[in-house]
Chains A and B, each alone.
Chain A
Amino acid sequence: MDLPAGIRNFTYAQDMAIFRTRWQWVMLVVFILALFSAPLLLNNYWLGIANLIGISVIAATGLNILIGYCGQLSLGHAGFIAVGAYAYAIMVSRFEWPFLAAMVFAGVVAGLTGLLFGIPSVRVKGFYLAISTIAAHFIIIWVINQWSSLTGGYNGIGVPAANLFGVSFAGQKNQFYLIFVITVIVIFMAKNIARTRLGRAFVAVRDNDLAAEVMGINLFRYKLLAFFIGCFLAGIAGSLMANWIGYLNAENFTLNESILYIGMIIIGGLGTTIGPILGVVFIRLLQEGVNSISPLVEGWIPALPSGFTAGLGPMVFGLVIVLFLILEPRGLAHRWNLFKASYRLWPFSY
């Protein structure tokens, strides 16, 4: 990484460190303190938004490992989140498993499903793989709808509130702590994947998989591992989402959600750890912004066509994706790195 002037690395540990300077540690601690004090300041609605951001960050990090690091296109992420959510809901409501066990189980089930639908990645890539993941999404949703004895079918399934060591996670405040602790762990895990052998193997597969195979990287194993990890995280996010909403229905998991996640990681920056975070925050806040602005604008300009609010959200989102791809394909993470570099060099311009 870019370091401030005057800092040199003399040991391997220093070279590999995530937080290298004391100043970075201080900023980290301040940020974590501020983050975990948010429930004291925000009201329930914004806490709910924050919880949703946390859950999306987990899912987006998983997708980033799959697409950004390993280069395997997956357009069916919402389907894998659904698998995790339903697995969690079924374990908790029908079999009364404890929270942690159910959550890990949900992750494993989603990971295995991802593994199954990721098998074509060994033979095909690019668009072909994308289409097979879209097919995976529809098949998963269909199975959820039809297997009504297990999943409640079209009616859906209720999820009792999670309970850990006697603390009930029904309210937004408690959920905030739970979700963000898990999010921090997941991000740390993703960063570690990225900077160790596994991450390097993924990047090699992404950049040129034939060359990687020639160098001795077992493509089958690493591609499937990427699918497993990406979908495991989707399953964890799904179980947290099941707890957050309280009632699951297959209609919650649409193909548009999958595309939303793709948009998030592209806007955030593929193949970086901070990319998913920036992308998720940007998109969710954009959604909130569009939601709150359009009634106001409709109030000011009554002559607007009646489809204004209906069309504004998707149009803005689509436009943002296209503009980012044309103007800043490396995403917000790249902008963030440029910003860091520029203030380190200030007052010099380069």
Chain B
Amino acid sequence: MSELLQYVITGVTVGMVYSLIALSFVLIWKSSGVANLALGQMVLVFSWFTYGMLVQAGLPLWLGLGLVVLFSLGMGWLIERAALRPLIGQPILSLIAVTLGLAFFIEGLVSFIWPRSVAALPRIFPEDVIHIGTAVVSQEYLWAAGISLMLFAVLSFYFKYSRMGIAMRATADDQLAVQACGVPVTRIFSRSWMFAAVLAAVGGVLMASIGGITHGLVETGLKSFSVVILGGLNSFLGAILAGPIIGLAENVGGGYLTPLTWPGVKEVIPFIIIVIVMFVKPYGLFGEERIERI
């Protein structure tokens, strides 16, 4: 029984890390309807940049992280301006393909600038482990969960109450109407990509401090797609709730299924969940079903 507590706690905390990356995806989808398939690679490049700042350049923590945020803002702006602006209004395959092309490009860029494939970040969070009953959880996960929740709260408020946030939601709903109202749509896209890049950077730093910087960050980005699908593509609440659900499914499901079935069952659980969601409730738990008319 004590294992169940351990599985649950590990699942929830790991899931919150997935949620953080998922928030970035949802932000871009909510504002511009673009699926950012380069998310994993963006997380990777920001983690490496953090490594570059903190380890290679040896800057102090606050300065290094500050530069990471600035870099991610710049990179988000650049991506939107150079690759997505020319494709406004194109069919969805083009948009997806351009993010795939970007993914390749960013991966190449990372290999170009940081040829190492594994690196460790300096300790950002304290190392001691916290005991909850018989279960243990490392502090890094709790910090990651806390930061995810905080960012979720900030984003929700922003989208609900601030002018720019409302404008973003309006743009996702109906671009033409928004343009007719005089809202600068391109500026909205730009802002949303910049914020999403910052979210990806934060997620990247947290994941890198837990597990080091490797190419695996890209695969964890893929797992956050399952969070996004489960939660609903345009719902922040969905992303925050679906993350722990996927984490629980992985750990509790994996924990009890593995001795019964195959040793590696845990890895494939998020993808099986995607397929099941597609069959049962394609728009996710909190997603909005688009109604199409001829």
User: Chain A: residues with CB nearer than 8 A to chain B?
Assistant: 67, 71, 73, 117, 119-120, 123-124, 126-128, 130-132, 134-136, 138-139, 142, 145-146, 208, 210-211, 214, 255-256, 259, 262-263, 266, 270, 305-308, 310-322, 325-326, 329
Task: Indicate whether A319 sits within 8 Å of B101 (C-beta atoms), given known contacts A138-B268, A314-B107.
Answer: yes
Q: How distant is B125 from chain A, measured CB to nearest CB, in Å?
A: 30
CB-contacts of B253-294 with A (<8 A): 262, 264, 267-268, 271-272, 274-275, 278-279, 282-283, 292-294
Asked if B274 and A131 make an inter-chain contact with CB atoms under 8 angstroms apart, the answer reads yes
Q: Which residues of A contact B225 (CB under 8 A)?
A: 131, 134
Contact of A325 among B94, B105, B292 (CB under 8 A): B94
Q: How distant is A84 from chain B, measured CB to nearest CB, in Å?
A: 20
CA distance A259 to B293 in the complex (A): 31
Asked if B278 and A132 make an inter-chain contact with CB atoms under 8 angstroms apart, the answer reads yes
Contact of B268 among A73, A142, A325 (CB under 8 A): A142
B158 at the A/B interface (Cβ < 8 Å)?
Answer: no
B233 at the A/B interface (Cβ < 8 Å)?
Answer: yes
- Determine the residue in chain A with the shortest Cβ distance to B287: A128
CA distance A325 to B92 in the complex (A): 12
CB-contacts of B152-189 with A (<8 A): none
CA distance A93 to B222 in the complex (A): 35
Q: How distant is B102 from chain A, measured CB to nearest CB, in Å?
A: 6
Task: Indicate whether A135 sits within 8 Å of B264 (C-beta atoms), given known contacts A124-B282, A127-B96.
Answer: no
Contact of B106 among A266, A310, A316, A318 (CB under 8 A): A318
Asked if A329 and B229 make an inter-chain contact with CB atoms under 8 angstroms apart, the answer reads no
Stretch at the interface among B7-15, B70-78, B109-117, B237-245: B109-117
Q: Which residues of B contact A255 (CB under 8 A)?
A: 222
CA distance A307 to B262 in the complex (A): 39
Give 10 CB contacts A-B under 8 Å: A67-B93, A73-B93, A124-B278, A134-B274, A142-B264, A305-B113, A311-B109, A317-B101, A320-B101, A326-B86
CA distance A329 to B92 in the complex (A): 12
Give 20 new A-B contacts, CB below 8 A, not counting A139-B268, A313-B108. A67-B93, A119-B279, A123-B282, A131-B225, A131-B229, A132-B275, A134-B222, A134-B271, A135-B272, A208-B294, A259-B103, A263-B101, A311-B115, A318-B103, A321-B100, A321-B104, A325-B97, A326-B83, A326-B87, A326-B98
CA distance A127 to B93 in the complex (A): 8
Q: Which residues of B contact A307 (CB under 8 A)?
A: 111-115
Q: Which residues of B contact A131 (CB under 8 A)?
A: 225, 229, 274
Query: Interface of chain B, helix or strand or loop or mixed?
Result: helix
Asked if B98 and A322 make an inter-chain contact with CB atoms under 8 angstroms apart, the answer reads yes
Asked if B104 and A259 make an inter-chain contact with CB atoms under 8 angstroms apart, the answer reads yes
B35 at the A/B interface (Cβ < 8 Å)?
Answer: yes
Asked if A128 and B282 make an inter-chain contact with CB atoms under 8 angstroms apart, the answer reads yes
CB-contacts of B16-38 with A (<8 A): 35, 37
Q: Which residues of A contact B274 (CB under 8 A)?
A: 131-132, 134-135
B90 at the A/B interface (Cβ < 8 Å)?
Answer: yes
B226 at the A/B interface (Cβ < 8 Å)?
Answer: yes
Asked if A318 and B101 make an inter-chain contact with CB atoms under 8 angstroms apart, the answer reads yes
Q: Which residues of B contact A321 (CB under 8 A)?
A: 97-98, 100-101, 104
Count how many chain B residues have C-beta atoms less than 8 Å from C-beta atoms of the other chain. 48
CA distance A122 to B64 in the complex (A): 49
Q: Which residues of A contact B107 (CB under 8 A)?
A: 314, 318
Q: Which residues of A contact B90 (CB under 8 A)?
A: 325, 329
Choose among B86, B105, B115 the residue with the greatest number of A CB atoms under 10 Å from its CB. B105
Q: Which residues of B contact A127 (CB under 8 A)?
A: 35, 92, 96, 233
CA distance A296 to B226 in the complex (A): 43
Q: How distant is B246 from chain A, measured CB to nearest CB, in Å?
A: 12
CA distance A320 to B264 in the complex (A): 37
Q: Which residues of B contact A71 (CB under 8 A)?
A: 93
Task: Indicate whether A329 sits within 8 Å of B275 (C-beta atoms), given known contacts A310-B111, A315-B109.
Answer: no
- Determine the residue in chain B with the shortest Cβ distance to A68: B93
Choose among B94, B102, B108, B226 the residue with the greatest number of A CB atoms under 10 Å from its CB. B108
Q: Which residues of B contact A117 (CB under 8 A)?
A: 275
Q: Which residues of B contact A305 (CB under 8 A)?
A: 112-113, 115
Asked if B264 and A145 make an inter-chain contact with CB atoms under 8 angstroms apart, the answer reads yes
- Determine the residue in chain B with the shortest Cβ distance to A304: B112
Asked if B110 and A311 make an inter-chain contact with CB atoms under 8 angstroms apart, the answer reads yes
Q: How distant is B211 from chain A, measured CB to nearest CB, in Å?
A: 20
Asked if A319 and B105 make an inter-chain contact with CB atoms under 8 angstroms apart, the answer reads yes
Asked if B101 and A146 make an inter-chain contact with CB atoms under 8 angstroms apart, the answer reads no
Q: Which residues of A contact B111 (CB under 8 A)?
A: 307, 310-311, 314
CA distance A138 to B279 in the complex (A): 17
Q: How distant is B193 from chain A, measured CB to nearest CB, in Å?
A: 15
Asked if A318 and B268 make an inter-chain contact with CB atoms under 8 angstroms apart, the answer reads no
Asked if A146 and B262 make an inter-chain contact with CB atoms under 8 angstroms apart, the answer reads yes
Q: How distant is A147 from chain B, measured CB to nearest CB, in Å?
A: 9
Q: How distant is A346 from chain B, measured CB to nearest CB, in Å?
A: 31
- Determine the residue in chain A with the shortest Cβ distance to B222: A134
CA distance A297 to B37 in the complex (A): 32
Contact of B93 among A135, A270, A313 (CB under 8 A): A270
Q: How distant is B128 from chain A, measured CB to nearest CB, in Å?
A: 36
Q: Which residues of A contact B94 (CB under 8 A)?
A: 266, 325, 329
Asked if B102 and A120 make an inter-chain contact with CB atoms under 8 angstroms apart, the answer reads no
Q: How distant is B76 from chain A, measured CB to nearest CB, in Å?
A: 16
Asked if A120 and B98 make an inter-chain contact with CB atoms under 8 angstroms apart, the answer reads no
Q: Which residues of A contact B37 (CB under 8 A)?
A: 130
Asked if A130 and B96 make an inter-chain contact with CB atoms under 8 angstroms apart, the answer reads yes
